[in-house]
Amino acid sequence: VGRHDPPAVLLKMYSNPIFRLIALFVLLLLTAPLLATELTGKVVGVSDGDTLTLLVPDGASFKQVKVRLGEIDTPESRQPYGERAKQTLSDLAYNKQARVVVQDTDRYGRTVGRAYVGNLDVNAELVKRGAAWAYRQYLKDQSLLALEAEAKAAKRGLWALPEAQRMPPWEWGHGGAVKATTAPVSSVPAATASGGFTCAGKRYCREMTSCEEAKFYLTTCGVRSLDGNKDSVPCEKLCR
């Protein structure tokens, strides 16, 4: 037997069909997460500037997957430039074949990822065109900051708006915009929660000390300005 020949016991194991079946099963378990990191399909819907719906194969049929574009954030639909941002995403991706590199799943159950149409990085293109901000809280690709600075310097897209209207969604939903639906202080009834919170006239997320207090003000006091994106979850940074 040569110095580098495998021991007889290993040769016997390799020749055992049960051992090979187990090894194949382990290999599939290890590679499954890698195989599931990309989705490919047709973009059949655009909800807003950073959310699309992808129609992907599902066995013998198809299924729709809601995709939140990762690392970027576009204006909410009711914000200045919100509808323009949605139109920009539609121009780039709607009714086209796309590939999504999956990064995560958000608390709404949406797939979070980087979308590509051909060789075009859709997420980066939205920032480059001034239709989106680089989302600092979840940023991994630092090159998006350079694209944002470039768009800002060239006054592209939302960067052509007056400064007062260029408010990132994560600030806009935190008291940066006063909504007409916010109840005036005088009309809010005196109320106290079991946690000791009272309707004391607070209106903005920056005034909240906890998620529980924000929820109390939204549901009990009717302060709708805490829920900028109308998802029934107040103050995203506190209640994420």
Active site residues: 68, 76, 110
Please count the other Cβ atoms lying within 10 Å of the Cβ belonging to residue 240: 10
Whole-number Å distance between alpha carbons of 2 and 54: 57
Whole-number Å distance between alpha carbons of 240 and 237: 6
The alpha carbon dihedral of 212, 216, 219, 222 has a sign of negative
Contacts of 207 (CB under 8 A, 6+ apart): 175
Tokens at residue 63, please?
């299924």
Tokens at residue 58, please?
């599902």
Amino acid occupying residue 101:
V
E strand residue ranges, the chain: 38-48, 51-58, 61-69, 72-73, 97-105, 111-117, 120-121, 133-134
Whole-number Å distance between alpha carbons of 171 and 137: 12
Please say whether the beta carbons of 146 and 137 come within 8 A.
no
Beta-bridged to residue 72, according to DSSP, are 134
Cβ burial, residue 53 (10 Å; 0-12/13-18/19+): middle
